[in-house]
Amino acid sequence: MSFSKLKQIHVIIIGAFLCVVAVVGVFMLLIKPKQAALQAAQARIDKASPVGNQAAENQAIADLNKAILEVSNTQKNLNVEMAKRMPDLSFTRRDLGMLQLWHEQIDTLGPLLEKFAKDKNIKVLSAKFSIPAPPANPNDAIFDQDVLVFPLGVVQVKGSFKDLMSNITRWNNCRRLVMVSSPALVGTSPNLVASYGLTCYIFPVAKGGDKIQMAGTGTADASGGGMPSGMPAGSPAGM
């Protein structure tokens, strides 16, 4: 094939075509993928930058410090209240915890409340508290509760209006957390008689830990409540 027959117009057309092909080829094969990668990288930056920047980090650190401080303060406040109003009951070891609860429920709570109920400014007509026996099973569900609730009974006191109101709010100073229910007033001052119910709340320091393997229950995860069943068949008569 001889190029001598090509005229200028042919060269222009072929040259232009080849240049267009080169432009398109270079753009499609080299530039476009790079631009796409560039845009993708920019998109990643845009997505991450609202959180991934110094101001956001400073803010997050400030929030964390605030949260730590809040936890610390709240824990401190709770510790103060726990030390002021709660017995040291930990059920992490259920057997020891149960004994602690026995002492609290049988030896401490009742006398403490009855002593506290005596107010020199008023006459106490009735302040007999009734606290049932504590559970005798260390796997009792009570040891898994966040709070132990003891409805104590009704207190009746006599005095002037002001002294009775002081007597009610005085329960906030008790060494246990006691809620006074709605008081009813009867009579006329200074011989008013106020009657109100009391409920004691106790937060254990720690809830029940691993359940204890007990004779007669078969498995450690007895459902709790009451004495373990299953006395040996040959138990002596008269027990």
User: Rule CB under 8 A: which of 59-78 touch other proteins?
Assistant: 60-61, 63-64, 66-68, 70-71, 74-75, 77-78
List binders of other proteins among 183-202 (CB under 8 A).
Answer: 183-188, 193, 195-197, 199, 201-202
Rounded least distance, CB 42 to other proteins, Å: 6
Residue 210 CB, nearest approach to other proteins (Å) = 20
Mark residues 73-102: x for contact with other proteins by CB under 8 A, - for none: -xx-xx--x---x-----------------
Measured CA to CA, the distance from residue 99 to residue 117 in angstroms comes to 26
Q: How far is CA 146 from the centre of its chain?
A: 9
Scan residues 126-155 and list those touching other proteins (CB under 8 A).
Answer: 129-132, 134, 141-142, 145-154
What character string, x for contact with other proteins (CB under 8 A) and - otherwise, covers 154-173?
x------x---xx-xx-xx-
Tell me if 42 contacts other proteins by CB under 8 A. yes
Tokens, residue 189: 């001052």
Count of residues engaged in binding other proteins, rule: CB under 8 A = 93
**Residue 168: which residues within 8 A CB-CB, separation 6 or more?**
180, 183, 194, 196
Please name the residues in contact with 80: beta carbons below 8 A apart, sequence gap of 6 or more. none
Give the shortest CB-163-to-other proteins separation in angstroms: 11
Please choose, from the candidates 157, 105, 153, the residue with its C-alpha nearest in 3D space to the C-alpha of residue 128: 153
Task: Tell me the residue length of the chain.
Answer: 239
Which stretch, 90-98, 111-119, 176-184, 230-238, contacts other proteins (CB under 8 A)?
176-184
Q: Which residue matches tokens 């606290």?
A: 131
Nearest to 168 by CA among 158, 190, 183, 153: 183
209 is a site residue for other proteins (CB under 8 A): no
Query: Radius of gyration (Cα) for the chain, nearest Å?
Result: 40
Identify which range of 44-52, 90-98, 211-219, 228-236 contacts other proteins by CB under 8 A: 44-52
- H or E stretch at 125: strand 123-126
